[in-house]
Structure 1
């Protein structure tokens, strides 16, 4: 029996079919939009996107009118910390990065299995409800939670790229299987199918041993995987790496930082470049503390950057130099970070934040939410409503319509 067609009618649809990842001036180019449009769906796949007046619906087609809204492809949330969702509302905001970190660290060993499971399930469901097609998630914080996040993301219909994060300066366990963090290694060995969706990652330049960062980056390059790490997130990070002191040093000295640790005496971007962490295939996160020359260097090397502006604002670490990043052709995308530093996991609200506070044009923000996020995570079939592709879409917030 032939399957029936579902016709989804909306005031406007922006399909992004044929769009490539956008840099520089390409971010601001007009997007093709179809007014009084219909999305034809068969068996969960896009059959066509066209004006309603041109639609020739087959017999038995079902029509769903979603009203005066603009539909875009489902979004890519390129950076989250789903394993830590149970800490929502339990950390200190507005007092700087080190104060937030100090409020969180003592709680990391206090979670019960039940509250972690419940929080992860709820977080994954909220991602789907917010129109996310795919998420880049940082794993390795809690033993066993990688499998948990993967199961609940897939149950919610959200694809996931896992970044298995190394944290600390202990002796790395690196062999031919790759530089996988100890908290992830057993899960990956038990489930080869899970390993396909995973890549080793670094936490940050001040919290992960340099030899581990290099090994993880090299492994990802050999295996065509994305390497992700936090970069230039806070003034405290810059102070620690350049001078070897400050509140972040006070937070980590004697615990994370070994006794013989010495600062590299370099700003974060220069240190990352010296370790060979940058370039195509690398996804840096935050970039709040980048200066003008560093923005140019980041762009020249081809590193992608994920912006998490609401998290940055909540922690009072500054605002990323968005205009400079756009004008210098950095591949930009958006992420929500996690519920330890954000109120929700709706990546569309990151775009709203940039629209409201930095007056970034909607055309650029739509691309950051879709095709750019897909490119940053190495996804070839996401971020577009293309005939034959998944019919995954979301509603664009009114402030982002144009």
Structure 2
């Protein structure tokens, strides 16, 4: 039995509770409301809802490039770098990124893994020994589902994905697809595939939002990456009003996969509350992937972050939820439980 004490951001609403989290065999046994001298802040570990970890071999290589030049398949700088990477270098680079994510409070990430079966196997190898379990959306032929947890399509304008969609249904695993990043032309075709997850939706308009709500399709948004690639900004307020929205960091070549940075950017640039942003960074991604984390409640996985509330950065804050979303950084982390 283990206990962690402080201000606990508990349940779906993240209501601050003074007390302690009691952990037994990796699960939250109970949350006890009680007086404590601890100034620590305890929150759920993050679930990064959209990453491209293969880009770890090309950090900053795409600075100043357009979306097409940087990441579009099959001939962008990214795909040339992926094709040229030595396998050992490729695995080592992804493992470093996974370690960074784990140390900075991320328990899982929903990764779009390029390079078919070989790419999915490389990420499985990279995650060996790292206490962060990536949820792999594979690519290429349907046989990638022998290794991957689901299928991640590049976009409806890039090819035909009906076979992969059908294979996901047979295996009862999720099908995800990029949509509405460079423009809106691929959104309706993506929705025609009845996906389990849409990524980006920067150019979503009301007709798209109505279909999203009718089909109950969750969306992963990556606002920092969209800004770097100059494709626009997702209508996050409108998206939240229609469906579940989760937060991701997208390409490692563009931005470090820091959920603290993503939250701070999102709260300042969009019409959202701190609780909505924290939910996007934790609960929403976990729900999409069917993970037993993203919320501090009895019976859930004890995946949590302990922040030093007395740090030079956080001392004196009056609202722990606002402080976590707007102010906290990796330097404030006291411990990470996975």
Runs of 5+ unmatched residues, structure 1: 20-29, 56-64, 167-172, 174-178, 189-194, 239-266
Deviations, residues 38-61 of structure 1 (Å, cap 9, x unaligned) = 2222333222222342x8xxxxxx
Shift of 1:318: 0.6
Task: Tell me the equivalent position of 2:190.
Answer: 272
Following TM superposition, by how much is the alpha carbon of 1:316 offset from its aligned partner in structure 2, in angstroms? 0.8
Equivalent residue number for residue 251 of structure 2 = 338
Matched, 1:77 2:59: no
Residue equivalent to 1:91: 62
Q: Offset at 1:311?
A: 0.8
CA–CA distance in structure 1, aligned partners of residues 40 and 251 of structure 2? 28
Following the alignment from structure 1 to structure 2, what is the Cα–Cα distance between the partners of residues 198 and 81? 15
Q: Which has the higher contact order (CA 8 A, sep 6+)?
A: 1
Corresponding position of 2:275 = 363
- 1:96 and 1:397 mapped to 2: Cα distance? 34
Instruction: Give the superposition deviation at 1:104.
Output: 2.8
TM-score normalized by structure 1?
0.70
* Larger radius of gyration between Structure 1 and Structure 2: 1
- Pick one of 30, 33, 44 that aligns with 1:48: 30
Structure 2 CA distance for partners of 1:362 and 1:99, relative to 1, 3 Å: same
Shift in Å, 1:206 = 2.2
Q: Whole-Å Cα distance in 1 between the matches of residues 3 and 243 of structure 2?
A: 37
DSSP 3-state at the match of 1:385: coil
**Poorly superposed stretches of 4+, deviation over 6 Å:** none
In the alignment, which residue of structure 2 is the partner of 1:121? 95
Corresponding residue of 1:170 = none
Distance 1:269 1:98 in 2: 18
**Alignment check: 8 A CA contact 1:83 1:141 kept:** no
- The CA distance in 1 between the partners of 2:265 and 2:174, in whole Å, is 26
CA distance in 1, matches of 2:63, 2:116: 21
Aligned length: 309
Deviations 1:177-218 (A, max 9, x none): xx23xxx48xx4xxxxxx3x522332111222x2xx112222
Question: Quick check: 1:130–1:345 contact (8 Å CA) kept in 2?
Answer: no
Conserved? CA contact 1:283–1:376, under 8 Å: yes
Gaps of 5+ in 2: 308-320, 328-338
